[in-house]
Amino acid sequence: MIFTSYDFLIFFLIVFGLYWLARRRQWQNIILLAASYLFYGWIHPWYAALLGLSTLADFGLALGIARHKERSRLTLTLSLLLNLGILATFKYYNFFSESLVAALSGLGIRADALLVNVLLPAGLSFYTLKKLAYIIDVSRGDLEPTRDLVGFALFVGFFPQLNAGPIDRAQKLLPQIQSDRAWKSEYFYSAWPLLVMGFFKKIVIADTVRVFVDRVYNLKEPTGFLLLAATLGFTLQILADFTAYTDLARALARLFGFDTSENFRLPYLALTPTDFWNRWHITLSTWLRDYVFFPLRRALLRANLPRGLTDAIPPLVTMFLSGLWHGAGWTYVVWGLYFGVLIVLYQLLGFGGAWQPANKFSQALAWTVMFTLIVISFAIFRSPSLGWLGSVLANGPFLGSLDHIVMGIVTLALIGFYAAPLFVKMAFDKTFTPDSIWHTLYYVGAVIAMLAYLNTSSPDFIYFQF
């Protein structure tokens, strides 16, 4: 079920009504849990079964860690194997089996039987990270395991953030799940602007820009100029799409009385790669920082490795895993490594995490360089294959015929047109208070545009596929 569908509207209204009528926390949690499993199993019921079984396993394993401290390492390993095993099976089986079959066929060995199309359940990558954070925190002694199975299952499967995050930690969400909640009108008043912006960004911007972007990326040999225009478009599309989902997820959670994490803070204003990852998909970045980057760095420091290695390996490994988490394909792996290399290079040049520009000029320069690097990263991310990208960049003309130039300009103009509302919103947010008349007029305009654009197609949110 997707947030922009009629099915979801009916589903949400029923769940919302029942939830607030229930009044007692225990019933509210049961209603939300049942709703979450219905939401998740709507298309494929086995998705919900997989979620339920893996949730039960981690619930038991976390209690096991707390009860038998001497065996906590073994139990943690079991949980890691279980979670990463499920993730690897569903997410990476196709990628590795295709690569293996191709390699074997190169040796003259036929292994077509390995090519079984395994369907990735939406949201698996997101809820796996939630459960892993929980179990690691329990094993570290940072978190007491909960004995409330319904509460834990709801933390893992909470439907507003099930398909594409935010990847909230148990420390943030579980206490809210285990507290009493009574309806307050402020829930609605804080949710409605997020709902308007979420639907507007998805329906009007992301879904429209996607069409121009896909057309170029579906060409055999686009010119460099067309590729540049389409990549700028994808830079806009992915921001609009992903922030739209996050806005809607946060608004829906708010309507049930939950406060969930912010996932974006104007990421394209970043001045360095580290700054970018502190602003982009924040809950994933902090997850990777806390459970991969810091432990790895500590381990390398303990091993007394040379400074160069202890500085370079953690970002490279972390960003490699980030790439792999985003998708099973070489484009994602290279995209992750690209950011890893950028972080290392920026650190080497003295522009690490805490760096601040000395003046406006260096700020503008740093922004221009970083934005260019971000756009390049999205060319890698969006390309159908590395070979295609390499061939377009190496062999294709930059401008091409007049027809190509015209289409490049047309694509740029359309992207500029659909990016404009986001610039206006940013300017309004900076200049006026959130309850200003300008914001009201903006939201009215957004709803009117949305109504006009609604009667077209509405594909899934991009981040569902990760």
Q: Which residues are catalytic?
A: 326
Nearer to another protein, 123 or 408 (CB): 408
Chain center to CA of 440: 29
Cα 153 to the center of its chain, rounded Å: 21
> Considering only residues 439, 459, 460, 464, which one is a binding residue for another protein as defined by CB under 8 A?
439
Q: In the complex with another protein, which residue's Cβ is closer, 181 or 404?
A: 404
Count residues near another protein (CB under 8 A): 44
Stretch that binds another protein, among 266-274, 289-297, 316-324, 448-456 (CB under 8 A): 448-456
- By beta-carbon proximity to another protein, the closer residue of 273 and 327 is 327
CA 170 to chain centre: 18
9/21 with CB nearer another protein: 9
* Helix 207-217 with 402-431: angle, nearest 10 deg: 150
* Axis crossing angle, helix 45-67 with helix 72-87, rounded to the nearest 10: 170
Is residue 221 at the binding interface for another protein, with CB under 8 A as the rule?
yes
Q: Which of 189, 294, 423, 432 binds another protein (CB under 8 A)?
A: 189
Of 118 and 448, CB closest to another protein: 448
CA-to-CA dists, residue 170 to 130, 302, 376, angstroms: 8, 29, 35
For the CB of residue 59, give the shortest distance to another protein in the complex, in Å. Answer: 32
Nearest-approach distance from CB 374 to another protein, in angstroms: 24
DSSP secondary structure letter of residue 68: -
Is 259 a binding residue for another protein by CB under 8 A? The answer is no
- The nearest distance, CB 382 to another protein, in angstroms, is 13
- Touching another protein, residues 361-400 (CB under 8 A): 384, 388
Q: Closer CB to another protein, residue 1 or residue 447? A: 447
Give buried/exposed letters for 256-285 (b at 16+ CB in 10 A, else e): bbbebbebbeebbebbbbbbbbbbbbbbbb
Task: Kindly state the smallest distance separating residue 219's Cβ from another protein, in Å.
Answer: 5
Does 451 contact another protein by CB under 8 A? yes
Nearer to another protein by Cβ, of 44 and 69: the residue is: 44
What lies within 8 Å, CB to CB, of 14 at 6+ separation is none
Among residues 107, 110, 117, 185, the one that binds another protein under rule CB under 8 A:
185
Which of 453, 459, 460, 464: binder of another protein (CB under 8 A)? 453
Binding residues among 8-47 for another protein as defined by CB under 8 A:
9
Give 220 or 302: the residue with its C-beta nearer to another protein.
220
- Contact between 78 and 58 (Cβ < 8 Å): no
User: Which H, E and C letters describe 90-126, residue by residue?
Assistant: HHHHHHHHHHHHHHHHHCCCCCHHHCCCCCCCCCHHH
Contact residue for another protein among 26, 77, 89, 218 (CB under 8 A): 218
Binding to another protein in span 60-119, by CB under 8 A? none
Distance, CA of 236 to CA of 209 (rounded, Å): 8
- Binding to another protein, residues 402-421 (CB under 8 A): 402-407, 409-410, 413-414, 417
Q: Which of 74, 85, 452, 465 binds another protein (CB under 8 A)?
A: 452
Stretch in the footprint of another protein (CB under 8 A) among 19-27, 255-263, 374-382, 441-449: 441-449
CA 154 from chain center: how many Å? 20
Residue 435 binds another protein, judged by CB under 8 A: yes
At 210, which helix (H) or strand (E)? helix 207-217
**Pick 70 or 435: Cβ nearer another protein:** 435
Contact between residue 407 and residue 227 where contact means Cβ atoms under 8 Å apart: no
The three state secondary structure string of 302-353 is HCCCCHHHHHHHHHHHHHHHHHHHHCCCHHHHHHHHHHHHHHHHHHHCCCCC
Query: Residue 177 in contact with residue 76, Cβ under 8 Å?
Result: no
Burial of 138 (0-12, 13-18, 19+ CB in 10 A): buried
Q: How far is the CB of 210 from another protein (least distance, A)?
A: 13
Name the minimum Å distance from CB 9 to another protein. 7
> Counting beta carbons within 10 angstroms of the beta carbon of residue 186, is it exposed (0 to 12), middle (13 to 18) or buried (19 or more)?
exposed
Q: Is 425 in the site for another protein (CB under 8 A)?
A: no
Kindly state whether residue 423 participates in binding another protein, applying the rule CB under 8 A. Answer: no
Give residues in contact with another protein (CB under 8 A).
6, 9, 185, 188-189, 192, 208, 215, 218-221, 226, 384, 388, 401-407, 409-410, 413-414, 417, 434-435, 437, 439-441, 443-444, 447-448, 451-457
